[in-house]
Amino acid sequence: MKLPILITLLLLAFAPQATLLAEEVRIKKPNILWFVVDDMSPNFSCYGEDLIQTPHVDQLAREGARFTNAFVTAPVCSPCRSAMITGMYQTSIGAHHHRSGRGELKIQLPVDVVLVPKLLQQAGYYTCIGSGVLPESGTAGRNNKRNGTGFGKTDYNFEWDAEIYDSPDWSGRAAGQPFFMQVQLPGGKLRGGTDDSVRRLQERAKQELGDATAPEAVKLPPYYPRDPVLLRDWAAYLDSVRLTDKHAGEVIARLKREGIFDDTLIIFMTDHGISHARGKQFLYDEGTRIPFVVRGPGIEPGQVREDLIEHIDMAAISLAAAGLPLPPAMHGRDLFADDYVPRKAVYAARDRCDETVERIRSVRTERFLYIRNFYPQRPHLQPNAYKDGKSIIKTLRSLHRTSQLDSLAESLLFRPSRPAEELYEWTTDRWQITNLATDPAFLSTLKQLRAELDQWMINTNDHGPEADAMYDSDMAVYLTKGNPEVEQNIALMKKWAEAEKNAAAEK
């Protein structure tokens, strides 16, 4: 047989396989990797923080899209993460009370809500949650402590199946199998809650980064006094940002070594803002505004997006990247879809945190932030064992008792009650200091946003206050810890609730 004829026959014989191979390459799904960081605001150099440098997150921003107006729907870990992993408002699925469903009474998701890892797993993804660096790395051990398992933080408030995660790391996947990886990092929690732990982080920064951020160079929000304890804490917090960036760099380097960096959609975000007196747990920018950076296949580099987005959009972006349809009930939006319509407003909610009962809601437009306090008769800094155990809060309370705080700090942090409504022009009032709710010039705006929030609560089926039985069920767990302060706070919460019910009944 002549050689040209033989070649032709061979090509014809292998044509189907070649076509299949080309088709497999064409439909190859990207890897999806989330960086989810605890307790951290957008204090990265690509977001304008000039006291530190964060080259690795900056690289992701430079090579992808950086969102300047990204906000969480809940400013505390478990409600935020419950929303994140479902793409749903936590208030809509009954997961809005921090660390709820841990007692005898459990929270079940609606039948039509499926967790993002499960959806990706069903589509053939190898699903992981861990540190993103190999187990032998010192960073993996220092930054990811989950009972020695290597699995990363979940902290969901509802019942869920741990089998949605195949492994702590993508190294165990089958050849060519795409992976979904959540890199869970402690972020701002690295600095701990005491002045001693802050000093230890300073030493770690010197060892790993070459130096520590100078406390005297720190710029604090105007309502925090320049007290040495607060300055050291904020400086250590900035070093936690640097250490987080370093860890992100190690993950990026690994992706490059394995030749999969450009095949991986990377989303970097945090679960809420810095843990402080007006940050974490509250609906001001300090608590809800987060960094949000997306880099990977199909993402045009160098984008700076100013549209209002919510952290739950990460779920929608990821499913769309995997070629999966968005569940009809999902509230998150694919920010890169051809038919994407920017939001006119974003929403957030604060509810019970540990033993401390609270209910706050907000709506934010491109210019205004409206906040509603459902318990205005209670102080801003309600008793809370978790926060009151931190040196920064202890210092603030001590300065308050000894009349050493200025009028701004006293007004915003230690007023015995709060306004029922707050309105801020957040684009010009960076720290939300001037409440416009009682200004006649903004009455129409107040009414409009009041109605907007009411409608959102109806449309999304806001589950509202926690039932007494559920509170008691979860508090039974807290009471096993033998903390007298928690016990006192629970008793106070019940006393206040009874007084509020009686007052309402008399009206």
**How far is it, in rounded angstroms, from Cα 418 to Cα 375?**
8
Q: Are residues 367 and 465 in the same domain?
A: yes
Domain that holds residue 476: 360-386+415-506
Q: Are residues 292 and 376 in the same domain?
A: no
| Helical spans, DSSP H, in 63-109 | 77-86
Query: pLDDT digits over 173-202, tens only?
Result: 999 999 999 999 999 999 999 999 999 999
Is residue 244 pLDDT above 60, yes or no? yes
Q: Which pLDDT band holds residue 26 (cuts at 50, 70, 90)?
A: very low
Q: Are residues 330 and 434 in the same domain?
A: no
pTM for the full model? 0.93
Q: Are residues 265 and 166 in the same domain?
A: yes
pLDDT average, residue stretch 373-392: 98
Q: Are residues 301 and 438 in the same domain?
A: no
Q: Please report whether residue 98 resides in a domain.
A: yes
Domain boundary among 289, 318, 343: 343
C-alpha torsion sign, points 262, 244, 69, 325: positive
Q: Please report whether residue 21 resides in a domain.
A: no
Query: pLDDT digits over 269-297, tens only?
Result: 999 999 999 999 999 999 999 999 999 99
Q: Are residues 127 and 62 in the same domain?
A: yes
Q: Tell me, what CATH number does 232's domain have?
A: 3.40.720.10
pLDDT of res. 139: 54
Q: Are residues 274 and 378 in the same domain?
A: no
As for how many domains the chain has, the answer is 2
Is residue 17 pLDDT above 80, yes or no? no
The mean pLDDT value of the chain amounts to 93
**What's the token pair of residue 62?**
């430079």
Q: Are residues 227 and 169 in the same domain?
A: yes
Do the beta carbons of residue 157 and residue 82 sit within 8 Å?
yes
Query: pLDDT digits over 85-135, tens only?
Result: 999 999 999 999 999 999 999 999 999 999 999 999 999 999 999 999 987
Q: Are residues 138 and 252 in the same domain?
A: yes
Q: Please report whether residue 160 resides in a domain.
A: yes
Query: pLDDT digits over 1-12, tens only?
Result: 443 444 444 444
Q: Please report whether residue 337 resides in a domain.
A: yes
pLDDT of res. 506: 87
296: left (phi over 0), alpha (psi -120 to 50) or beta: left
Count of other CB atoms within 10 angstroms of residue 252 = 21
Query: pLDDT digits over 58-89, tens only?
Result: 999 999 999 999 999 999 999 999 999 999 99
pLDDT of res. 148: 59
Do the beta carbons of residue 275 and residue 309 sit within 8 Å?
no
Q: Are residues 304 and 379 in the same domain?
A: no
Q: Which pLDDT band holds residue 137 (cuts at 50, 70, 90)?
A: low
Q: Please report whether residue 6 resides in a domain.
A: no
Q: Are residues 80 and 182 in the same domain?
A: yes
**How far is it, in rounded angstroms, from Cα 170 to Cα 126?**
7
| Helical spans, DSSP H, in 294-442 | 313-321, 385-388, 391-401, 407-413
Q: Tell me, what CATH number does 451's domain have?
A: 3.30.1120
Q: What is the DSSP string of 8-42?
A: HHHHHHHHHHHHHHHHHHHTPPPEEEEEEESS--S
Do the beta carbons of residue 242 and residue 212 sit within 8 Å?
no
Q: Which pLDDT band holds residue 507 (cuts at 50, 70, 90)?
A: confident
Q: Are residues 177 and 233 in the same domain?
A: yes
Q: Which pLDDT band holds residue 28 (cuts at 50, 70, 90)?
A: confident
**What's the token pair of residue 84?**
């994140």
Q: Please report whether residue 398 resides in a domain.
A: no
Q: Please report whether residue 400 resides in a domain.
A: no
Q: Please report whether residue 408 resides in a domain.
A: no
**How far is it, in rounded angstroms, from Cα 91 to Cα 249?**
35
